[in-house]
Structure 1
Amino acid sequence: MKSTRTGIKLAAVATLLLAAATTHGAKLCIDPGHGGSDPGAVGNGLRECDMNLDMSLRARDLFNA
């Protein structure tokens, strides 16, 4: 259930970011947070910092396409 809510939240954020990116000349900064000595939450072998970085890089690729 928690992973479903997280997925919904991530989808909502991605939608808002894509909508914001359509503004001509706008700059967008994506900060995945965590990393280094702070991995964030860890569950089922998945670290929050790894998930955040992956999502951020995917968003970057979408915006630069």
Structure 2
Amino acid sequence: MSDWHKSSYSGGSNECVEVREHSTGADVRDTQNRESGHLTFNGSEWRAFLNTLHSTSK
């Protein structure tokens, strides 16, 4: 499993989410509330989310 990481677009802010990608999808957690747990997305859900982000950022 990979390490948790923040987007390079966060600019060093702690008001963002962190992602940990793995072979079956990805986990997402709130940077300010790490102890509250995380959401897990399977591979198809995670790809759909990333595709939506890429299509809206153009």
Structure number having the greater strand percentage = 2
Structure (1 or 2) with the larger CA radius of gyration: 1
Structure number having the greater helix percentage = 1
TM-score relative to the length of structure 1: 0.30
